Structure 1
Amino acid sequence: MCAFTVQNIFSLACRDRCMAKLRTLIPLPSHGKPPNSTAAVLVPLCRVEGVPSLLYTVRSATFRPDVIYSGQITFPGGKCEKDETAVQTALRETKEELGLPSEKINVWGQGPAIPSQTNEFMITPVIGALQELKPTDLMININEVAEAFTVPIAHLCDPKNQFYTQFSNGYILPVFIAEDYKIWGITAYITHAFLTCALSKNVYHNEWLKKKIDIKSE
């Protein structure tokens, strides 16, 4: 499908459209008093054997508990250090976790901050595009990341891979299934926000609203 070609998704027009829409999104409300602590994640748009994809990480079971959540699927990222911008945090954490230097990442911009699931942090998503990504490009920090994997954009847009779950606080958020991986929570919300802003409505639909799935660890 032409909508999922490198020429389309990595184009300047797609970048401009994505960031213009992302900046106007109404973020999820915090459940309680908005947290003072801040964090940032990188949404890594990459090419895997010429296929536009998103890069995800699985947090190490021994991952420090001060950011987001050991054992879960996330984007690379973490807590902002003093006087750091969200972009600086996202790039620093991506290098620390995956060994990807900032000069290989073309930062598109950032979206509005959203509260973490535990309401401990306000998380800013930073969109960044990489060139062709190969397994040898990654130097995984096993103290923080158990593994990294990519999912084609076309797979995420396929309705058969989309579900939703409802949390105890009332939030209804998407869930994306990619083989044995379940992408849920704030990571799924950011994925949904990116796809909504980067792609047209006839390419990415809210089909996940039609099928519920239970997440045991919610």
Structure 2
Amino acid sequence: MNLSSFGLQNIIASRERCMANLKKFRAPLLNKTGKPRPATAAVLIPLCNVNDRTSILYTVRATNLRSDSGHVSFPGGKTDGCESPIDTALRETKEEIGLSPKRIDVWGCEMAVPGRKNKIIISPVIGFIPDLQESDLCVNRNEVSEVFAATLDMLCDSQNHFYTQFKNGYILPVYVVEEFKIWGVTAYMTHIFLSCLLSKDVYRNDWMRKKIVIK
């Protein structure tokens, strides 16, 4: 794998192409009235530069939480009142891991996607953090047990690609990065983002054809 493809300058130069590609993925989420369903939550997909390695920052949810405890996720949460998805993502990121909105260069929003059991609609927000330092973070241990950065080359390595099939028949990608398993809607949002950010010769993930299933 050519690591130069993940260089900071190459990634920043791909910003406009990435956001244009994301618009193509945007599809209306309809309710019973036939109108698009508004996003009711938002997360930040934190693209960052850590020790000169372009990475995506993830959180591990605290084990005391009532839902999805211990799962890998992006910082985020439910929209408060008339907040925009960007406002929600930045506020929740600050609350969960202490990362100041001033450190985040917001690129824009991905398509809204249904969350678990279609009970919530999540709007992913793309943000870039240059030269992320440990001192930029102050983890709220009531919500987050751990924060880790997965480098783009690790996320693009086919040896780290798997899939999981749910009881309802849905098949979604899984990424295994060191001891962390990224799955569910977080993995799906990761897949969409990487597909739009990187060329097909750099990111190839045929998760629908994988033989190994992780549940």
TM-score by length of 1: 0.90
Whether the 8 Å contact between 2:40 and 2:79 is mirrored in structure 1 is yes
2:54 aligned partner: 52
Q: How does 1:175-190 map to 2 (within 5 A)?
A: 175-190=174-189
The structure-2 alpha-carbon separation of the partners of 1:102 and 1:78, relative to structure 1 and needing over 3 Å to count, comes to same
2:130 partner SS: strand
- Judging changes above 3 Å, is the alpha-carbon distance between structure 1 residues 178 and 37 closer, same or farther for their aligned structure 2 residues? same
Computed over aligned residues only, the root mean square deviation of the Cα atoms, in angstroms, reads 2.2
Q: Structure 2 vs 1, CA of residues 112 and 37 (structure 1 numbering), >3 Å: closer, same or farther?
A: closer
Name the amino acid aligned to 1:20. A
1:42-84: per-residue Cα shift (whole Å, max 9, x none)? 000001101000000000112354xxx2221000000000000
Matched letter for residue 185 of structure 1: G
* 1:192 partner amino acid: H
C-alpha contact 1:40 1:86 (8 A) present in aligned 2: yes
2:110 & 2:164 partners in 1: Cα distance?
A: 23
Q: Aligned with 1:70: secondary structure? A: coil
**Aligned ranges 1:9-20 → 2 under 5 Å:** 9-11=11-13, 14-20=14-20
Give the CA deviation at 1:208.
Answer: 2.7
Tell me if structure 1 keeps the 8 A contact 2:100–2:136.
no
Task: Give the SS at the match of 1:87.
Answer: helix
**Identical aligned residues as a percent:** 51
- Once the 2 structures are TM-superposed, how far is the Cα of residue 28 of structure 1 from its aligned partner? 9.6
Counterpart residue number, 2:150: 151
**1:35·1:121 contact (CA, 8 Å) conserved in 2?**
no
Q: Kindly tell me: are residues 64 and 105 of structure 1, through their superposed partners in 2, closer, same or farther at Cα, counting changes over 3 Å?
A: farther
Q: Secondary structure at the match of 2:141?
A: coil
Distance apart, 1:203 and its partner CA = 0.6
Structure 1: give runs of 5+ residues left out of the alignment. none
For 1:18, the aligned partner's letter is C
AA paired with 2:174? Answer: V
| Contact 1:35/1:120 (8 A) holds in 2 | no
TM-score, scaled to structure 2:
0.91
TM superposition outliers: structure 1 runs of 4+ over 4 Å: 26-30, 32-37
- What does residue range 50-199 of structure 1 map to in structure 2 within 5 Å? 50-63=52-65, 65=67, 69-199=68-198
For 1:124 and 1:48, the matched residues in 2 are separated by: 25
* Count of matched residue pairs: 211
- 1:10-49 maps to which residues of 2 (within 5 A)? 10-11=12-13, 14-26=14-26, 38-49=40-51
Contact 2:43-2:76 at 8 Å conserved across structures? yes
* SS of structure 1 residue aligned to 2:203: coil
Whether the 8 Å contact between 2:164 and 2:214 is mirrored in structure 1 is yes
Give the distance between the partners of 2:166 and 2:130, measured in 1 at CA. Answer: 36
Query: C-alpha separation between the residues in 2 aligned to 1:112 and 1:28?
Result: 9
CA contact (8 A) 2:28 2:37 kept: no
- Separation in 2, partners of 1:71, 1:211: 25
Q: Separation in 2 of the partners of 1:37 and 1:28?
A: 11
